[in-house]
Amino acid sequence: MKRDDFIGASISTRIYEDDLVKDFYRLNELDSLSEIMNALSDSSYGRYIQELRRPEEYEEILSKELVRVYDKIEDITPDKNLTDYLREKYNFHNLKVLAKEIIQEEDYKYSPMGNIDVDYLKRQILKTDEKDIFEDEEDNIYLSYLKRAIDAYEDRKDPAMIDISLDKSYYERELDIANATGMDSLITYTKEAIDLINVKTLLRVRDLDQLGDALIDGGFIDKDRFLEMYKLDMTGLLIKMSNDKIYPYLSKALDNDKGEVENLLNLEKAIDDHFMDFAKKAKAVTYGPEVLLAYLISKEQEIKNLRIIFISKLNGLSKEFTKDRLREAYV
């Protein structure tokens, strides 16, 4: 795909950027959910707010807006790999939900952002003839991922293996899509994202065998290095990783004087900042695939920030606490 193919789509996307919410700190200073809804009534969320029965049902407006934006970009993009790359996390959420429904025989909530046919996958995975499942796997990569996750669960009888297996498959898929776009910047971002997720796993999993299972392949940092660092404290970890590409994010997030929960929360924020930094680089690009990706990433971060503010108001959390949790904005 040539960069010139994105001229028209980039011009349209720059216009869409004008509708992004610009001042989350001002919204955070408001005292109630109703006040925030009123402040957003002139934004792109306004059409959904009018239909809302109660402000507490805010997830409905966030979901509808995200679906609208993805549909709009999918209509104009010359390369569907761009929207596929960002939509995959919703598909894999739905695969996790489906796998847990199958093994636990309970109903869970699917994301409306996913675009895989979960009913088809469920019918296929419940076939009694293994030969039929194998033949279908050849045509549907998601069926292959689902079967791999259920097999991992069956081996250990541990539901956590579903998440571990599908997280690995997710990043395998993301790397494949990034490579298909031919964007070196997206490939680099994906590899760094894998490294950051592996650091998060390193902080959460304290058993060496479990850590070996959970670490994801494909990043810049070899899995063996993470296994060697599993007993280090925050200071030791930062020293060992001082020459790695993700070090600036780690140095802002991790501190020996903070507890495990706070370090993990800060690392989650750093992972989102890494996502937004990739998007912000597109500001210097006149036209190209980066412009479309940056807009979608910005909308994702916008919705995450609004969700943080909404939840804080509903739970009576302080404005200062909420301000510290807000993610960087594109505009």
Q: Are both 255 and 309 inside the same structural domain?
A: no
Predicted local confidence at residue 133, as pLDDT: 54
Rounded to two decimals, what is the model's pTM? 0.91
Q: Are both 176 and 212 inside the same structural domain?
A: no
Q: Are both 302 and 249 inside the same structural domain?
A: no
- Residue 162, in any domain of the structure: yes
Predicted local confidence at residue 107, as pLDDT: 77
pLDDT less than 50: residues of the chain: none
CATH of the domain at 32: 1.10.132.50
Q: Closest by alpha carbon to 185, among 280, 117, 101?
A: 280
Last residue of a domain, one of 122, 157, 182: 182
Q: Are both 177 and 195 inside the same structural domain?
A: no
The DSSP element (H or E) to which 20 belongs, if any, is none
Domain count, the chain: 3
Q: Are both 55 and 98 inside the same structural domain?
A: no
Predicted local confidence at residue 58, as pLDDT: 92
Q: Are both 189 and 106 inside the same structural domain?
A: no
Predicted local confidence at residue 234, as pLDDT: 93
- Residue 289, in any domain of the structure: yes
- Residue 280, in any domain of the structure: no
CA dist 96 → 16, 41, 148, 215, 316 (Å): 33, 35, 12, 18, 32
**What's the domain range around 305?**
1-78+285-331
Last residue of a domain, one of 182, 202, 237: 182
Alpha helices in the chain (DSSP H): 7-16, 24-29, 33-39, 46-49, 58-76, 81-104, 118-125, 130-137, 141-156, 160-181, 184-204, 208-214, 223-228, 234-240, 247-253, 260-280, 289-314, 319-325
- Residue 202, in any domain of the structure: yes
Q: Are both 166 and 243 inside the same structural domain?
A: no
Predicted local confidence at residue 2, as pLDDT: 85
Q: Are both 268 and 290 inside the same structural domain?
A: no
Q: Are both 6 and 74 inside the same structural domain?
A: yes
- Residue 84, in any domain of the structure: no
- Residue 37, in any domain of the structure: yes
Predicted local confidence at residue 127, as pLDDT: 76
Q: What are 44's two structure tokens?
A: 């792109």
CATH of the domain at 199: 1.20.1690.10
- Residue 298, in any domain of the structure: yes
Tens-digit pLDDT profile for residues 212-259: 999 999 999 999 999 999 999 999 999 999 999 999 999 999 998 998
CB-neighbour burial class of residue 140 (10 A; exposed 0-12, middle 13-18, buried 19+): middle
Last residue of a domain, one of 124, 151, 182: 182
Q: Are both 220 and 253 inside the same structural domain?
A: yes
- Residue 258, in any domain of the structure: yes
Tens-digit pLDDT profile for residues 44-91: 999 999 888 888 899 999 999 999 999 999 999 999 999 999 999 999
Q: Are both 191 and 168 inside the same structural domain?
A: no
Predicted local confidence at residue 326, as pLDDT: 92
Q: What are 207's two structure tokens?
A: 């058993």
Q: Are both 235 and 304 inside the same structural domain?
A: no
